[in-house]
Amino acid sequence: MRGAMKVGAVIITMGNRPEELRALLDSVAKQDGDPVEIAVVGNGSPLPELPEGIRTVELPENVGIPAGRNAGIEAFGPGGRDVDVLLFLDDDGLLAGEDTAELCRQAFAADPRLGIISFRIADPDTGETQRRHVPRLRAADPMRSSRVTTFLGGANAVRTTVFAEVGGLPDDFFYAHEETDLAWRALDAGWLIDYRSDMVLFHPTTAPARHAVYHRMVARNRVWLARRNLPAPLVPVYLGVWFLLTLVRRPSRPALRAWLGGFKEGWVSPCGPRRPMKWATVWRLTRLGRPPVI
């Protein structure tokens, strides 16, 4: 094997958390091993003063999370080819340990088919990991590492050859489910995804619905996800299950109205290229504990 893997980090910001951003940058700079190169993307906002040597991208408008991260990937050359691994970190997060980059290098070097690592997200004050931050159905024990079928968008590492093979995140999703779209394409190409409880990003506990567009985007992108990636017979099954789950959860009337509007939008608006996964991938997802109908 050639020399140690080169690691980069992509951080997108809207300029409203300068102190948290600086703390995150400091935690990345303290990583063991070779220095981690960093790209910071200003998503519709000017960037604050940053340490020397950081790659910067200032987008004229807020293009959403996936397109913003894609711009960060390209800051490392086409498809991120200047580095071997890219970390994607929320700008209000903080790497808990100084060995995260080294653990990533070791994991990717040990398994050439490992394409993505999902970190554990923990509250900095309580150490608690929310159930929704464990990317599997059996989420009761966040300290158990395992092979999984998706990953957390703001706390992960991706081998850049994954992007070269299957492409980047879906720009048009703007927010929600873009990670699962990439994960399904990666799994269909034969890559593996691991959840690692020992790689930790501290992040304040928040509710996803704090975003005003949450319910509409979640519903629309769920439909797009299915239309883009699932074999035709599974599309109505998958979406039917999620429709019923949403009703069972008894959202508020405004939330349900937004969700139904997004669900309709997902059917009538273009979803991007359709590349249905192989049935062998459906079976693989099922064996990993998450068949693509749940």
The per-residue pLDDT for range 66-76, each reduced to its tens digit, is 999 999 999 99
Of 247, 232, 237, 221, nearest in space to 291 by CA = 237
Question: Which residue, of 148, 166, 200, is where some domain finishes?
Answer: 200
The per-residue pLDDT for range 230-253, each reduced to its tens digit, is 999 999 999 999 999 999 999 999
Structure confidence at residue 45 (pLDDT): 95
169 and 223: one domain? no
227 and 192: one domain? no
The per-residue pLDDT for range 184-213, each reduced to its tens digit, is 999 999 999 999 999 999 999 877 655 558
Residue 203 near residue 250 (C-beta atoms within 8 A): no
Which of 99-136 are b and which e, b meaning 16 or more Cβ less than 10 Å from the residue's Cβ?
Answer: ebbbbbbebbeeeeebbbbbbbbbeeeeeebbeebbbb
Structure confidence at residue 235 (pLDDT): 98
Once rounded to an integer, what is the mean pLDDT over residues 102-126?
97
For residue 249, is it within any domain? Answer: yes
| This prediction's pTM | 0.96
181 and 214: one domain? no
User: What are phi and psi for residue 75, nearest 5 degrees?
Assistant: -65, -20
d(CA 172, CA 15): 22
d(CA 263, CA 30): 44
Question: Which residue, of 177, 200, 223, is where some domain finishes?
Answer: 200
Q: Is 45 left (phi over 0), alpha (psi -120 to 50) or beta?
A: beta
Instruction: For tokens 């099954």, name the residue.
Output: 237
Structure confidence at residue 2 (pLDDT): 52
Residue 3 has pLDDT above 70, yes or no: no
Once rounded to an integer, what is the mean pLDDT over residues 250-258?
92
Once rounded to an integer, what is the mean pLDDT over residues 77-89?
98
Burial status of residue 90 (CB atoms within 10 A of its CB: 0-12, 13-18, 19 or more): buried
- Tally of domains within the chain: 2
Host domain of residue 250: 210-286
Alpha helices, H only, 30-169: 65-74, 100-110, 160-166
For residue 193, is it within any domain? Answer: yes
Structure confidence at residue 206 (pLDDT): 77
Structure tokens at 10: 């992509």
For residue 139, is it within any domain? Answer: yes
Once rounded to an integer, what is the mean pLDDT over residues 107-129?
97
pLDDT, averaged across the chain: 95
CB 5: neighbour CB atoms within 10 A?
Answer: 20
For residue 205, is it within any domain? Answer: no
User: What are phi and psi for residue 90, nearest 5 degrees?
Assistant: -65, 145
Structure confidence at residue 213 (pLDDT): 84
Residue 1 has pLDDT above 50, yes or no: no
Structure confidence at residue 205 (pLDDT): 86
Q: Are strands 7-13 and 37-43 parallel, antiparallel or unpaired?
A: parallel
Q: Give the whole-number percent of the chain exceeding pLDDT 70.
A: 97
183 and 45: one domain? yes
